[in-house]
Amino acid sequence: MRKARFITLEGIDGAGKSTQMPKIEAVLKSHGVEYVMTREPGGTPVGEKLREILLHQAMEPETEALMMFASRAEHIATVIKPALEKGKWVISDRFTDASFAYQGGGRGIPFDRLENLEQWVQKGFQPDLTLLFDVPVEIARKRLSKNESLDRFEHEREAFFERVRKAYLDRASRHPERFLVMDSSLSIEAIHAGIEQAISSLCP
Ligand code: ADP
Ligand code: TYD
């Protein structure tokens, strides 16, 4: 029996993560893998309350960064680690790379501060695989424009998302052992095929 895996999904808003979620579940089911699907910010009762504030209430960048990591501390301790210990795989729609991309790249919080929080909250714990849905900002924005209600992050300007995208790509090049960068400008089916291959290769 292989160990349970922790997989995270990342990318700028509108990259197509949510669209691929049911497809990821289908791959795991086809391999008979027990799993938990979760998200950040959120994934716990405390985290979901923090999410509501984070997505809709204006605040200082440092407050935002600390709340993201507060949600994460609760998530790791009460959901992610207990599931992995029971042999269940955990698939999280966003994790710490999003803090480096959005609060670091987007808002300008120094990366060494975020590294301190990462170390405090994670103590070396990292995903086994991070799927980065990478897409030019212009394409992501066109996709998002079909949505009726946008949250506080989705209202940001193009330059913000350019910085977020760059920070994600920098982080991927720094951690090539766990990142898989996917070309998310491709069709939904082509992206799914890439994901299927990556996840199947980890499955028992
Ligand atoms: P995210 O969860 O990354 O913010 P979504 O999965 O909600 O993005 O996708 C945003 C919009 O783009 C949706 O309307 C979705 O149908 C569409 N979409 C997602 N993936 C693709 C793709 N590969 N090609 C074209 N449109 C896509
Ligand atoms: P998400 O649930 O992916 O939103 P959607 O499903 O609408 O695409 O993420 C919510 C927002 O939170 C997203 O804009 C990115 C932001 N975020 C951060 O800024 N930092 C973080 O650490 C995390 C986890 C998310």
Task: Evaluate whether 46 touches 79 at the Cβ level (below 8 Å).
Answer: no
**Residue partners of 131: CB distance under 8 A and separation at least 6:** 7, 8, 9, 10, 180, 182, 195, 198
Query: What number does the ligand 2 atom closest to the CA of 68 have?
Result: 22
Give dist(CA 100, CA 115) in Å, integer.
9
Give dist(CA 179, CA 96) in Å, integer.
13
pLDDT at residue 65, rounded to an integer: 98
Q: Tell me the ligand closest to 41's alpha carbon.
A: 2
Query: What number does the ligand 2 atom closest to the CA of 154 have?
Result: 14
Query: What number does the ligand 1 atom closest to the CA of 147 have?
Result: 14
pLDDT at residue 147, rounded to an integer: 77
Q: In angstroms, what is the span from residue 52 Cα to ligand 2's centroid?
A: 11
Task: Evaluate whether 14 touches 141 at the Cβ level (below 8 Å).
Answer: yes
pLDDT at residue 122, rounded to an integer: 98
From 18, 19, 154, mutation site for ligand 1 pocket: most ligand atoms within 8 A of C-beta: 19
Query: What number does the ligand 1 atom closest to the CA of 13 have?
Result: 4
Q: What is the pTM of this model?
A: 0.97
Mean pLDDT, 10 residues at a time, over the chain (204 residues)? 90 96 94 97 98 98 98 98 98 98 98 98 98 98 86 94 98 98 97 95 87
Nearest to 9 by CA among 166, 198, 201: 198
Q: Which residues line ligand 1 (CB under 6 A)?
A: 11, 13-19, 143, 146, 187-188, 191
pLDDT at residue 180, rounded to an integer: 97
Q: In angstroms, what is the span from residue 116 Cα to ligand 1's centroid?
A: 33
pLDDT at residue 149, rounded to an integer: 87
Percent of the chain exceeding pLDDT 90 equals 94
From 102, 107, 130, mutation site for ligand 2 pocket: most ligand atoms within 8 A of C-beta: 102
Q: What digits encode the pLDDT tens for the residues 49-92?
A: 999 999 999 999 999 999 999 999 999 999 999 999 999 999 99
Nearest to 121 by CA among 113, 129, 132: 113
Question: Which region holds residue 154: left if phi is over 0, alpha if psi is between -120 and 50, else beta?
Answer: alpha
Give dist(CA 107, CA 101) in Å, integer.
9
DSSP string, 5-17: -EEEEEESTTSSH
Give dist(CA 185, CA 3) in Å, integer.
32
